[in-house]
Amino acid sequence: MIALPDFPWDRLAPYKELAQAHPDGIADLSVGTPVDPVPSVARDALAEAADSPGYPQTYGTPRLREAAAGWLRRRHGVIVDSADILPTIGSKELVAWLPLLLGVGPGDRVVLPELAYPTYDVGARLAGAEPYAADGLLALGPERVPLVWVNSPSNPTGKVLPAEHLRKVVSWARERGAVVASDECYIELGWEDDPVSILHPDVCGGSHEGLLAVHSLSKRSNFAGYRAGFVAGDPVLVKRLLEVRKHAGMMVPAPIQAAMAAVLDDDEHADEQRERYARRRAALRPALERAGWRIEHSAAGLYLWATDGTGCWDQVRALAEKGILVAPGDFYGDAGREHVRIAVTATDERIDAAVLRLQ
């Protein structure tokens, strides 16, 4: 039996009940789930492809892979062959299973950020490997490290890793034969800083050897309910993932693939959604600061990484008493014990309600 940590969100239930007791209802800023409509271009493509009686392609349709390659080139300056792209059933699925799919196992270490999305840790454990939280790679000893996770923009902090830092990670990993997996789910949501992909030539020197970039349409296109993502990068690694996923039946449904291609080709809806998040962020951040919270990092992404200097659970309770539910920082590692993560993914009306309660 694999030993997994308790599911962290279960611990938040009593505070959710407290926030729900507010006379005006809860302003749930805890989970970064989209609340805005799925773009019409996606729904139209989904409907047109609804008559799909046969099995979908694990590799994805050529149309989808070409759309993903075009999006990477157009929006992020990344040149990748469409053959080196593979759709996934959302990005969390890939994060959880990537160590196992790559052959990581007992005796191996999987390096992940000190403050990190919990599924990096879970994925290492599912493979029987040891999760190792370390922002500084030089401290690692001679033990085998086959996989290193980076996440920029960061969940939970919104920190952006500059190209220089990513270049050092790539160089370190290549010297040791490690794979670098870069979670880039929030890459289109840079505010004060501009995120850069691990596959950008300024980072990788024009070679994708040993590199995988993980992308999601959940935030960009309100696709969380569609479970739609993809991985791109090293041709050898992508081919290896494809072969294993064929055997395991890890297939994105054909109508979802059609909808993915449609939104990857369309930038207008993504720009409109970005503006929605920008407005909500611009309202919520100063309200928190006036109420005594200090915002740290938070230069990109959908979260404000905040602290008032007390313990994270004390902050969760204080905000829940105002009807505002947030995530405690220790969900993301011990280094988050004095912070909370506050999502800007609620509706305009609920963001406005939270702002009023913070006055």
Write the pLDDT tens digit of every residue in 175-199.
Answer: 999 999 999 999 999 999 999 999 9
Mean pLDDT of all residues in 30-50: 96
pLDDT for the residue numbered 116: 95
Q: For the chain, state the CA radius of gyration.
A: 20
Query: pTM for this one?
Result: 0.94
Mean pLDDT of all residues in 318-343: 97
Closest CA to 119 of 139, 137, 97, 140: 97
pLDDT for the residue numbered 284: 98
Residue type, 282: A
DSSP 279-312: HHHHHHHHHHHHTTPEEES-SBSSEEEEE-SS-H
At 75-128, the pLDDT tens digits run: 999 999 999 999 999 999 999 999 999 999 999 999 999 999 999 999 999 999
Q: Are 50 and 195 in contact (CB under 8 A)?
A: no
Q: Where are the extended beta strands (E) located within the chain? A: 27-28, 85-88, 109-112, 130-133, 147-151, 179-183, 211-216, 229-233, 294-296, 303-307, 324-325, 327-328, 340-343
pLDDT for the residue numbered 219: 94
Q: Are 254 and 56 in contact (CB under 8 A)?
A: yes
pLDDT for the residue numbered 293: 98
Q: Which domains does the chain have, with CATH numbers?
A: 8-37+269-358 (3.90.1150.10), 40-265 (3.40.640.10)
Q: Is 107 exposed, middle or buried (0-12, 13-18, 19+ CB in 10 A)?
A: exposed
Q: Does pLDDT of 39 surpass 60?
A: yes
pLDDT for the residue numbered 319: 98
pLDDT for the residue numbered 141: 63
At 271-291, the pLDDT tens digits run: 999 999 999 999 999 999 999
Closest CA to 112 of 130, 97, 93, 94: 130
pLDDT for the residue numbered 140: 63
State phi, psi for 182 to the nearest 5 degrees. Answer: -110, 115
